[in-house]
């Protein structure tokens, strides 16, 4: 490989792929390095998530401005992209349900937010109206959020990857970025190819979008990198909505009122254990299937690849979904687990230039709603660092 390449993107999850596609509109000579053997294989967040195109109500503009802004924008960008490319994304709508008076008051906060953030069509409905949408869901009241959707993550990822490849991006799968170092204030990258051969390259710009590994990579250059990972694993179960009449759901996302939970890393905001319809593939088409996901239940973990710590007991999922009272532990079977790139004490996405190397841009803490936000993250990076802030 030429030692002087223009842009090196580290990580071929949905964020790296969107960055590749977006930057290829104005830049040449872009290489993306992915340590997994393929772009759609592996234990990354982009292949292990709930598949919800979040409407964007959950993120406080004061404490999480990037999440708030980029999620709302990303939701719309995905809808357009999927419509244009006939990809599996369905606007199923969401019920955010309140069970108590306190939660009912909390919903009003999210309703005002929907106006401020311009999330269209959100309205508050009564418990009786909830049952018109989902007859087996019990609630005191709910917010109806029409722009919440579901997508099939790997189909979307594949399309972004194909389009970026067609625009000339070089995808180097099976190639790990083993080390970063500073040379006179410029980041250099040591790559290890599939055959074990290693090489140092000096790209004009390096983008660290390595998901759960991004903090570790940042620490290779800056020993005092200001953020620490607080890895959280999300575990989910599934059930068959046709197993018993009381389990029938029409196909909406059903969420509790968002919660703040205590973790070893302090209080963390969570959207809560929710019900999300999953896709089936029938007659050549993705349709809402017969299976519903319940989760994710969040468990703090110490390693990026901790899939060994046992999942919580099914009873825990049942307890967390009191708005769906007919669900029993015996209805549930394990679905998937995915480790999220959360940060300790920093609730927002962190998208900044490195403090030591001016040619290095970090995308750190891209946890949920990172899939929804990915196209908007890519635009934000292009605008901030390449179009307006070139250099």
Ligand X SMILES: Cc1cc2nc3c(=O)[nH]c(=O)nc-3n(C[C@H](O)[C@H](O)[C@H](O)COP(=O)(O)OP(=O)(O)OC[C@H]3O[C@@H](n4cnc5c(N)ncnc54)[C@H](O)[C@@H]3O)c2cc1C
Of residues 33 and 59, the one with the C-beta less far from ligand X: 33
Beta-carbon contacts of residue 324 (< 8 Å; ≥ 6 apart): 136, 137, 138, 254, 275
Q: How far is the CB of 357 from ligand X (least distance, A)?
A: 16
Angstrom distance (rounded) from CA 389 to CA 391: 6
Q: How far is the CB of 247 from ligand X (least distance, A)?
A: 22
Of residues 196 and 391, the one with the C-beta less far from ligand X: 196
Strand, helix or coil for residue 37: coil
Of residues 22 and 34, the one with the C-beta less far from ligand X: 34
Of residues 17 and 137, the one with the C-beta less far from ligand X: 17
Of residues 42 and 347, the one with the C-beta less far from ligand X: 42
Q: How far is the CB of 14 from ligand X (least distance, A)?
A: 5
Strands 186-192 and 198-201: antiparallel
Counting every residue, how long is the chain? 391
Angstrom distance (rounded) from CA 115 to CA 96: 16
Task: Return the biggest CA–CA distance within the chain.
Answer: 67
Beta-carbon contacts of residue 385 (< 8 Å; ≥ 6 apart): 205, 353, 361
Angstrom distance (rounded) from CA 217 to CA 9: 13
Q: How far is the CB of 258 from ligand X (least distance, A)?
A: 14
Q: How far is the CB of 102 from ligand X (least distance, A)?
A: 26
**DSSP-assigned letters across all residues of 320-386:** TTTTSTT--GGG-EEEEEEEE--BTT--S-EEEE-SS-TTEEEEE---TTHHHHHHHHHHHHIIIII
Q: How far is the CB of 265 from ligand X (least distance, A)?
A: 16
Q: How far is the CB of 75 from ligand X (least distance, A)?
A: 9
Angstrom distance (rounded) from CA 175 to CA 213: 15
Q: How far is the CB of 105 from ligand X (least distance, A)?
A: 26
Binding site for ligand X (CB under 6 A): 10-16, 33-36, 42, 44-46, 48-52, 54, 176-177, 209-213, 234, 296, 338-340, 366-372
Q: How far is the CB of 108 from ligand X (least distance, A)?
A: 25
Of residues 76 and 213, the one with the C-beta less far from ligand X: 213
Of residues 45 and 136, the one with the C-beta less far from ligand X: 45
Q: How far is the CB of 176 from ligand X (least distance, A)?
A: 4
Of residues 97 and 293, the one with the C-beta less far from ligand X: 293
Of residues 14 and 98, the one with the C-beta less far from ligand X: 14
Q: Which two tokens stand for residue 137?
A: 């869901």
Strands 7-10 and 170-173: unpaired
Of residues 119 and 125, the one with the C-beta less far from ligand X: 119
Prior bond of 296 cis (ω within 30°): yes
Q: Which two tokens stand for residue 123?
A: 């309205």
218-224 own/partner pairs: CB under 8 Å, 24+ apart: 218/354, 218/362, 218/364, 220/179, 220/180, 220/181, 221/180, 221/181, 221/182, 221/187, 221/354, 221/356, 221/357, 221/360, 222/354, 222/355, 222/356
Neighbours of 381 (CB within 10 A): 21
Angstrom distance (rounded) from CA 148 to CA 166: 30
């Amino acid at each position: 490989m030429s030692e002087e390449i223009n842009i090196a993107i580290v990580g071929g999850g949905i964020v790296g792929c969107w960055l590749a596609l977006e930057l290829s509109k104005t830049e040449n000579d872009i290489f993306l390095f992915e340590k997994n053997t393929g772009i759609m294989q592996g234990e990354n967040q982009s292949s292990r998530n709930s598949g919800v195109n979040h409407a964007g109500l959950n993120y406080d503009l004061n404490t999480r401005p990037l999440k708030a802004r980029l999620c709302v924008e990303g939701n719309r960008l995905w809808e357009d992209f999927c419509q244009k490319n006939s990809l599996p994304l369905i606007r199923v709508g969401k019920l955010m349900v309140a069970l108590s008076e306190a939660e009912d008051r909390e919903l009003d906060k999210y309703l005002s937010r929907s106006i401020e953030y311009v999330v269209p069509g959100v309205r508050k409905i009564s418990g009786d109206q909830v049952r018109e949408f989902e007859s087996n869901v019990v609630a005191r009241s709910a917010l109806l959020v029409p722009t919440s959707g579901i997508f099939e993550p790997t189909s979307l990822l594949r399309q972004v990857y194909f389009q970026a490849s067609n625009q000339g991006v070089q995808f180097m799968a099976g190639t790990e970025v083993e080390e970063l170092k500073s040379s006179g204030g410029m980041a250099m990258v040591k790559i290890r190819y599939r055959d074990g051969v290693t090489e140092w390259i000096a790209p004009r710009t390096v983008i660290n979008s390595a998901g759960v590994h991004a903090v570790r990579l940042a620490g290779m250059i800056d020993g005092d990198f200001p953020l620490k990972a607080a890895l959280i694993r999300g575990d989910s179960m599934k059930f068959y909505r046709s197993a018993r009449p009381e389990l029938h759901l029409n196909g909406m996302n059903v969420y509790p009122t968002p919660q703040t939970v205590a973790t070893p890393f302090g209080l963390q905001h969570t959207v809560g254990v929710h019900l999300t319809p999953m896709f089936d593939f029938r007659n050549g088409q993705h349709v809402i299937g017969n299976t519903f996901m319940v989760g994710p239940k969040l468990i703090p973990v110490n390693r990026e690849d901790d899939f060994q710590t046992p999942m919580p007991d099914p009873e825990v999922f049942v307890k967390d979904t009191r708005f769906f009272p007919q669900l029993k532990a015996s209805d549930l079977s394990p679905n998937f687990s995915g480790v999220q790139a959360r940060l300790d004490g920093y609730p927002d996405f962190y998208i900044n230039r490195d403090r030591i190397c001016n040619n290095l841009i970090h995308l750190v803490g891209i946890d949920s709603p990172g899939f929804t936000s990915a196209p908007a993250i890519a635009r934000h990076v292009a605008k901030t660092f390449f179009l307006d802030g070139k250099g």
